Structure formats: C-alpha cells, structure tokens
C-alpha cells in the first residue's frame, strides 16, 4: 500500500478564516450554496460590541454547545457555538440535551482552548464533568463583538476583560 502525501490547497492559507473579508471568495461560497440547494446564510445586519456576561449553556441534538451571554448595556442575548460530543464514551448512549445538558470534548477542541484562555486551568474534576463547572464563567466579564443574524446574535469574537 502506497501512502500519498496530501498537499494543502494553493488558494487558501493555513488559516481558513483568511478569506472571510474577501468579496470574491464569499460570493463563490454563496453561489455554490444556492446552486446546490443549500440554504444561503443571511448577511449580518448589525453588530453589537461591549461587555458581556455568561448566562447559561445548552446542548443540541446535533452535537453543539451553545453558550449564552447577555450584553451589559442592552440586555440582548448573544450566543457562542462549539462542536462537542453528546455521547457517553463508555456506554455509547446519548446524554440529555437542552438546558444544562451534559457533553464531552476531546483534546484540541475549540471549547478546551476557550476554557484555557478564560479560566486558565483544567477543570477541577475532569473534562467529562465540565458541564458542572460552567458556572465559573459567571464570575468573568467578557469584551466581545456580536453580529446580528436574522433570528439571533452570534458572538464571533470574545475575550476576557
């Protein structure tokens, strides 16, 4: 068996977000989505920046963790999304989803990076019990930028203040 090295695409840099502001790249993506019958994402309507506080979390059946933050001045709820695993690794059964749902993450997941930047330490027990420690985010004040979509505010950039 011969293994073939996969070379990176020439038209993109190492960071997939490099072309986020390139109008040609975005128009190609939107045209491709429309041609294949996929829903075209709604353009950003407005932005909201300033101080945010963590409110609660929920999980979805598609394996997403949604962290809700409230804007300090306007009271608008903005959400931040992470891909997580909602299956118990030992038994294979799915965890309960919804408000305060349980989830697990693997090393290298963006949620672990986010947790390390904000809290600065590993969870007290283990990563499989991280959902019980999310209340620690309530003591942290965040500065961020939320982009208004059709039905929700997407918190795209956030950092600890």
pLDDT digits (tens, 9 = 90+) for 136-154: 888 888 888 888 876 778 8
Q: Is the pLDDT of residue 26 over 80?
A: no
pTM exceeds 0.85, yes or no: no
Residue 22: per-residue pLDDT: 59
Q: So where are the chain's domains? A: 46-160
Buried/exposed 2-32: b ≥16 CB within 10 Å, e otherwise: eeeeeeeeeeeeeeeeebeeeeeeeeeeeee
Structure-token match 């697990």, residue found: 104
Give the Cα separation of 154 and 144 in Å (integer).
11
Residue 38: per-residue pLDDT: 63
Q: What single-letter DSSP state applies at residue 131?
A: G
Residue 79, both tokens: 């959400």
Give the Cα separation of 137 and 161 in Å (integer).
12
Among 119, 113, 143, which residue's Cα sits nearest to residue 53? 143
Residue 24, both tokens: 């040609």
pLDDT in tens, 85-107: 988 888 888 888 888 888 988 88
Taking residues 1-14, what's their average pLDDT?
A: 44
Backbone angles phi, psi at 5, to 5 degrees: -70, 135
């Amino acid at each position: 068996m011969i293994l073939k090295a996969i070379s990176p695409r020439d038209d993109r840099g190492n960071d997939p977000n490099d072309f986020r502001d390139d109008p040609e790249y975005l128009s190609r993506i939107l045209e491709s989505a429309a041609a294949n019958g996929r829903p075209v994402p709604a353009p950003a309507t407005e932005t909201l920046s300033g101080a945010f506080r963590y409110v609660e979390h929920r999980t979805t059946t598609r394996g997403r963790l949604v962290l809700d933050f409230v804007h300090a001045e306007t009271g608008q709820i903005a959400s931040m999304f992470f891909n997580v695993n909602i299956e118990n690794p030992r038994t294979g059964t799915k965890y309960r989803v919804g408000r305060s749902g349980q989830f697990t993450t693997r090393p290298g997941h963006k949620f672990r990076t986010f947790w390390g930047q904000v809290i600065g330490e590993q969870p007290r027990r283990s990563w499989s019990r991280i959902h019980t420690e999310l209340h620690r985010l309530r003591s942290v004040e965040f500065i961020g930028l939320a982009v208004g979509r059709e039905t929700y505010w997407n918190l795209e950039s956030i950092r600890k203040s």
